[in-house]
């Protein structure tokens, strides 16, 4: 029970080699300023993956972080589950800059803002899908899940470390993107415009509201396009923000691959 509660606690513990490689890759590509401070691994992991440990030892010497052999019990005490595979990294925080009118946004970009996600795992799953679909970056509300970065990284299979992030309120972000020539797209169940029948060329800023509170009227008033997700049967329930964002992003990405 305590470990389940800990997923909501700020954590710089990145579990598993996928997460560690994502941190290293984000550094190399200049996406993030997060740094590895220590890597802890078990003897069993060292025997199972000697080339991996050799690679990390080289990176440790190059970047100046520690590589420490520890017991399985030590790792189990630091992590939420059993998916660490015998290796974890202790990392620094990451700087998430505020979105401004001078932000470096691509001319034909695709950015997404998801509101109302109440669990870091669900947010991580959404980021995994959005990254795979080619989304350029994520706009985060001021209160967000980046404090649980290790959990996000594991749930997103490393995608959270590879994304470009900015902080902003939804209304402010929509105003800035609109001024940069982006189409503001929102979803609403009551609009007559079906997602798959609406033309959605880049550049796009997609705002997805949570199933409980949705999107505010102020933000909706800034939308250039409002679409609805067509269900396959009569169903009065709302999709989760993570599911809705994946469906919306898939259709937008599909249209822009032509």
pLDDT higher than 60, residue 1: no
- Parallel, antiparallel or unpaired: strands 36-41 and 87-91: antiparallel
pLDDT tens-place string over residues 213-233: 678 888 999 999 999 999 999
CA distances from 142 to 40, 91, 181, 241 (A): 32, 22, 24, 17
pTM value?
Answer: 0.90
CATH 3.30.1330.30 in the chain is located at: 2-91
CATH 3.40.1280.10 in the chain is located at: 110-256
Of residues 253 and 143, more confidence is placed in 253
Task: Count CB-CB contacts under 10 A for residue 72.
Answer: 13
Per-residue pLDDT, averaged over 86-90, amounts to 94
What is the per-residue pLDDT for 78?
Answer: 83
pLDDT higher than 50, residue 93: yes
DSSP secondary structure, 190-227, as one string: T-S-BGGGS--PSSEEEEE-BTTTB--HHHHTT-SEEE
Beta bridge partners of 257: none
DSSP secondary structure, 1-48, as one string: -HHHHHTTS---EEEHHHHHHHHHHHHHTTS----EEEEEE-HHHHHH
pLDDT tens-place string over residues 31-82: 999 999 999 999 999 999 999 999 999 999 999 999 999 998 888 888 766 6
Confidence bin at 246 (pLDDT 50/70/90): very high
Radius of gyration of the chain (CA): 20
Of 4-8, 80-84, 117-121, the range with the lowest mean pLDDT is 4-8
pLDDT higher than 50, residue 111: yes
Backbone angles phi, psi at 238, to 5 degrees: -90, 145
Per-residue pLDDT, averaged over 186-203, amounts to 94
In CATH terms, the fold of domain 2-91 is 60s Ribosomal Protein L30; Chain: A; (3.30.1330)
Integer Cα distance of 23 and 41 in angstroms: 16
Percent of the chain past pLDDT 90, that is, above it, reads: 72
What is the architecture of the domain spanning 110-256? 3-Layer(aba) Sandwich (3.40)
Burial of 238 (0-12, 13-18, 19+ CB in 10 A): middle
pLDDT higher than 90, residue 4: no
């Amino acid at each position: 029970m305590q470990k389940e509660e800990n997923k909501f606690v700020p954590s710089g513990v990145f579990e598993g080699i996928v997460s560690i490689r994502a941190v290293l890759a984000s550094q190399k590509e200049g996406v993030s300023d997060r740094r590895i401070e220590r890597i802890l691994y078990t003897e069993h992991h060292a025997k199972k993956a000697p080339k991996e440990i050799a690679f990390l030892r080289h990176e440790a010497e190059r970047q100046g972080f520690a590589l420490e052999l520890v017991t399985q019990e030590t790792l189990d005490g630091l992590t939420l589950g059993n998916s660490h595979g015998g290796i974890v990294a202790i990392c620094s925080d990451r700087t998430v800059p505020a979105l401004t009118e001078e932000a470096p946004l691509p001319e034909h970009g695709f950015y997404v803002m998801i509101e109302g996600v109440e669990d870091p795992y669900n947010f991580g799953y959404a980021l995994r899908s959005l990254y795979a679909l080619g989304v350029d970056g994520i706009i985060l509300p001021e209160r967000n899940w980046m404090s649980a970065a290790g959990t996000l990284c594991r749930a997103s299979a490393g995608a959270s470390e590879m994304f470009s992030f900015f902080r902003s309120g939804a209304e402010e972000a929509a105003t800035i993107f609109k001024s940069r020539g982006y189409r503001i797209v929102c979803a609403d169940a009551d609009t007559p415009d079906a997602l798959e029948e609406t033309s959605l060329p880049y550049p796009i800023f997609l705002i997805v509201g949570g199933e409980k509170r949705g999107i505010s009227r102020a933000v909706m008033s800034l939308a250039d396009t409002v679409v609805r997700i067509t269900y396959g049967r009569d169903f009065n329930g709302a999709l989760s923000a993570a599911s809705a964002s994946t469906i919306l992003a898939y259709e937008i990405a599909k249209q822009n691959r032509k």
